[in-house]
Amino acid sequence: MAVNIDNFSTAAQSGSDYVLAPLPYADNALEPVISANTLSFHYGKHHKAYVDNLNKLVAGTDLAGQSLEQIIAATAGQADKAGIFNNAAQVWNHMFYWHSLSPNGGGEPSGALREKIAAAFGSVDNCKKELTTAALTQFGSGWAWLVLDGDKVAIAKTANADSPLTKNLRPLLTIDVWEHAYYLDFQNRRPDYVGTVLDKLVNWEFAEANLG
């Protein structure tokens, strides 16, 4: 079964333990935009650390063995469970981000997604401009998202580990704007990273599949 928004927890779990789900492409497949070196750190170290931390934090608690979505819902907004929330949400967010990118990405969406984007933004270009604005105006670390709000496509941004899942929004695709997502390849040039991802790597097919 292909990984999508509705089976992320299955991909991230092996029994009661959480696992580092495999990338959907080779570690050099996103070059020259995102290098294998960046993926070795971003996926192999940052993403893996969230998985390892989550396993330690939930071991022996009533959250152990629950899906990522259940853990996120149960811990969101609770200061005493912030560590669990941050790690569970970052595991989920990163899995979603990897699938929001494709070596054959870029271009424009088609089908139902294109229709919904046109209805909400007037054009694909306007949608990409608003998504870019969200990515560039997210202060510090966070995420820019294309989401489904009810039956309407919209743009959202979240800080740190936060997720549209906590806001009753259905994520369609995301751009990671934590510095570790792009600094090795783009240094401090977040606009270049975001623009190139949208032009070359964004996975519109994944976004359309997430319409549900």
Which residues have a Cβ under 8 Å from the Cβ of 40 and sit 6 or more positions away? Answer: 27
CB atoms within 10 A of CB 107: 11
Task: Enumerate the β-bridge partners of residue 160.
Answer: none
**Selection from 166, 184, 28, 31 nearest residue 93 by Cα:** 166
- C-alpha 195/C-alpha 157 separation (Å) is 16
The predicted-structure confidence for 25-37, as pLDDT tens digits, reads as follows 999 999 999 999 9
pTM of the model: 0.95
Q: Parallel, antiparallel, or unpaired for β 13-14 and 17-18?
A: antiparallel
The pLDDT assigned to 202 comes to: 97
How would you class 62 by CB atoms within 10 Å of its CB: exposed for 0-12, middle for 13-18, buried for 19 or more?
A: exposed
Q: Are 68 and 91 in contact (CB under 8 A)?
A: yes
61 or 10: whose pLDDT is higher?
A: 61
pLDDT tier for residue 9 given thresholds of 50, 70 and 90: confident
- pLDDT at 3 > cutoff 70: no
- pLDDT at 174 > cutoff 70: yes
The pLDDT assigned to 212 comes to: 83
Tokens of 1: 């079964």
The predicted-structure confidence for 43-91, as pLDDT tens digits, reads as follows 999 999 999 999 999 999 999 999 999 999 999 999 999 999 999 999 9
- C-alpha 198/C-alpha 77 separation (Å) is 31
| Domains identified in the chain and CATH numbers | 111-209 (3.55.40.20)
The pLDDT assigned to 2 comes to: 55
The pLDDT assigned to 1 comes to: 40
Which residues have a Cβ under 8 Å from the Cβ of 201 and sit 6 or more positions away? Answer: 30, 33, 34, 101, 102, 103, 105, 106
The predicted-structure confidence for 98-111, as pLDDT tens digits, reads as follows 999 999 999 999 99
The predicted-structure confidence for 178-199, as pLDDT tens digits, reads as follows 999 999 999 999 999 999 999 9
- C-alpha 52/C-alpha 210 separation (Å) is 27
Tokens of 155: 């743009």
- pLDDT at 41 > cutoff 80: yes
The pLDDT assigned to 11 comes to: 86
Tokens of 120: 């909400």
The predicted-structure confidence for 113-147, as pLDDT tens digits, reads as follows 999 999 999 999 999 999 999 999 999 999 999 99
